[in-house]
Structure 1
Amino acid sequence: FDFGRWGTEGMANLTPLWMLKYLPNMLACHVTIIHDCQGPSNTITCGEASSLLSMGESMRVIGRGDADACLSGGAESKTNLMGMMRQHYAGRLAATAEGEDPAKVVRPFAPDAKGCVPGEGGGLLVLEALEAAQARGATILAELAGFGASQSFCPDTLGVEPESSGQGIVDAIEAALADAGIAPDAVDAVIPFGTGVAALDASERAAIEKVFGARAATLPVVTMCPSIGNCGAGQGAIAAAVAVRALRTQRLPARINASGVTGLDANACAARDAKLSTILVFTPSLGGQNAAAVIRSIA
């Protein structure tokens, strides 16, 4: 990529209306128009933390009485040229050798982790005040019990190098646990970002170990990126949906690819039954924003 040519030639090839096609609030706009949703509307653009931040914002909107229910989540295309370039220059993409199966390249927390692959997907959840859901006879799938957000220190000027200590992630997790009124011991499983990008994996591992101490070695870790790739802004909402499904079925999804992981329960394994009442979901982002949510089963 030639940055010089981009400035002199590339800009001249852009249609004047390109921004109207790429505004990040287009998803929220069209969903609300189609469904005639009225009330607070917001679009959060904080990379992979966006949809969890959206859930936290929705939780607060409902909590202060500005809405009875919110459609909350996110989606993003990572396979377009600009998206791929940004991931490449941020060091997030895995380099595959000739003949290597791309489906096996993402290995979160493994000693041979080499990066991630882009995915396309999103998640959308209906968040609703308990009284409103009960009044209309809704089937309540789970409770969003707590939420937390934070900003990590980025040691490089581009804001792409993860914070090695994981302290920013810890801050988000601890805020979510405090919001839910629970201690770390109440968490039955965690769903981190788990990209297979070694530096980001190390940051998340450090956070898990700081929050959960000795339990970190045995606490089930659900890793999704090997199966779906990095879905960007949609990642957190997908993780939340997986958490809800796990709570409903009392079953943890399979993990693939990773082997040789020590100190974390994150090696490849088949789906398995588990006693689950509380799952922690957290997602850092390319720019250092972090979000965490505590999702709890309904008694």
Structure 2
Amino acid sequence: MVEKKRDDVLQETPVSLAEKEIDGICMAFRESRNRPLLIMYYPEDRGSVSDDDVEALYSEFRRLGYNRDTKRIKELDVLIHASGGTPHTGYMMAQVLRRFASSVNFLVPYRAGGAGTLTCLCADSISMGAYAYLSPVEVLTEQDGALVSVDYFTDFAIQCWLKAEAALNREKVETKSSVETDLLTEFVKSVGPAGVANFYRQRTVAAKYAYRLLFDYMFASDPHREEKASQVSQKLMFSYPARDFHMDYHICMVLGLKAGEMSEDNSDMTRRIVKTMDKYTQAGVICKLTLKDRRAPFMTLYGET
């Protein structure tokens, strides 16, 4: 009987150790900044933002007794580590955050890409760790199992046409090149007209989401908020390279976002939190696979002391 109890203790040890270590470093960081802290951690492997997370986020605030009508958080830190997910989900996550917090500061230890970038646009400020980055909000379409950006293929076709025309001009050939039309025709055949139309529809929706968040929150007190929200949202959707383009705080500032660097101590502490999450995810203790073949995020609110 004694041996069985020892076995039970051994089986529970990984979970209890994970809870103790994660809670310890998160609460220490919360206390150092003297405000509630929300952790939104998504693993690298199959950890994209999902529609299910919107309800989970809302429930996390309600779990600690917060109420959007009578008990809101005055100032909230959100530590986010995420990439991937739909613009719809990123937008709804942002709106849930702002329902429960009057002021929100996003902390990005390493990365916040895709839907994570869109969610960050509801912030009053974005604080980025050492070598941390956001990414452009890019909408992709599928072709033969690979992700292909319609815009970049269009640019490729135009560049091919320009080079072909330049070569013909050098040779003083009067025939006009049709390479651009030929390439785009083949692309539309491959993806399908409906696929191309869906891409442009989703990108327009994503741009409207970005504008709404910037207008309502990040630039809310700016007398030129309409102009700034429009410029930044358009650049995010149309002027920057693909999603794997790393927008560090220098680029974010040039873009017009209210972004800056964390202190070295805060950067170290937030990166330690993420590395701890990585360790226990790899050990299979947290962020386990769901029935939808994705890893559940670690989403926990450390409220007021």
TM-score (norm 2): 0.29
- Which has the larger Rg? 2
